[in-house]
Amino acid sequence: MTTVESTIAALLAPGKGLLAADESFPTIGKRFKDLGISSTEENRRAYREMLFTTPGLGEFISGVILFDETIRQKIGDVTMPAALARQAVIPGIKVDLGTVALAGFEGEKITEGLDGLRERLSEYRQLGARFAKWRAVIAIGEQLPTMAAMQANARVLAMYASLCQEAGLVPIVEPEVLMDGNHTLARCEEVTGAVLKSVFTALIEQRVGLETMLLKTGMVLSGKECPQQAGVEEVAGATLRCLRRSVPAAVPGIVFLSGGQSDVEATERLNAICRPGGMPWTITFSYGRALQGAAMKAWHGSPANVMAAQTALQHRSRCNSLAVQGKYSAGSERAAG
């Protein structure tokens, strides 16, 4: 059995990142619907099979975050986790049960799923998972976020992480500050810093080992509706400054979510963040749509399109591998395409 330390080392291998393929039924259903694909169990299985059997996936992808349905499905007579292991890719699992309204705090959310989590983590480990992920969402608004909402989500993230470490799984702690809104880059930096400090305060109080967890966070970005959109270098500078001020050096790695950015934007910004080097943590990616978007569109629900879809996934994975090394450029898109 692998240790949590060896799992972290493998997940943070140079030039590699994570593929987030843990979309819930409503999320993948919406994306399929946009392409005219029926969201049946078999179509979801076939889609994930296409992703996980991409030739050479393990060259650029170190781990995949699975959904509860997926970790129980098979490719032929092989389980999904075993199929990933054949590619030298580590299986992980999303364990939160989604967000609901936070009572008493209009416009803010709390994540559910702590009830029965100890037993679920034990089962997931038996099914092949070696790490887990839990997502909290924080909205920026005129009076948001409130300190109460930040602290409530931080406490839940800390309890989840503690249970993961008890079960021998690496916890990925994901407090996502949403891009929605017209907030400025500076406001996003302020909120992201406050959220991260709240999360690490809770983690330490809960006695979570910082050395055996990973942080998944968003880049510091202008809100989607902000009239003044920050450039690539501004985003990188604000993001690194925020992380230096808020994330303890004991944390081994930070994996960025794409959070609604286009695939190329997510790669360009990741490259600018990684280029300077010299950070106390390993920085890489844990992208969902920014890795899968082109592949899903190419696949379009047809077995005849599997090769084209896998080529699209290879392309984006290679580009993000270069970005993690600070070696990505516009020419990389052409060379890898």
Return the bridge partners of 18, or none: 63, 286
Q: Are 172 and 286 within 8 A, CB to CB? A: yes
The lowest-confidence range among 57-61, 196-200, 330-334 is 330-334
Question: What are the catalytic residues?
Answer: 174, 216
Of 258, 259, 305, the C-alpha closest to 35 is: 305
Which residues touch 260 (CB under 8 Å, ≥6 apart)? 179, 224, 289
> What would the pLDDT profile of 124-151 be if each residue is shown by its tens digit?
999 999 999 999 999 999 899 999 999 9
CA–CA dist 305, 310 (Å, integer): 9
Domain ranges of the chain: 4-336
Q: Which of 269, 282, 277, 278 is nearest to 328 (CA)?
A: 269
**CB of 130 within 8 A of CB of 175?**
no
User: Residue 259 has what pLDDT?
Assistant: 85
Q: What is the pLDDT of residue 331?
A: 79
pLDDT given for residue 333 in this prediction: 81
The confidence band for 330, taking pLDDT boundaries of 50, 70 and 90, is: confident
Does the domain at 4-336 match CATH 3.20.20.70? Answer given as yes
pLDDT at 337: 47
Residues 34-56, mean pLDDT to the nearest whole number: 96
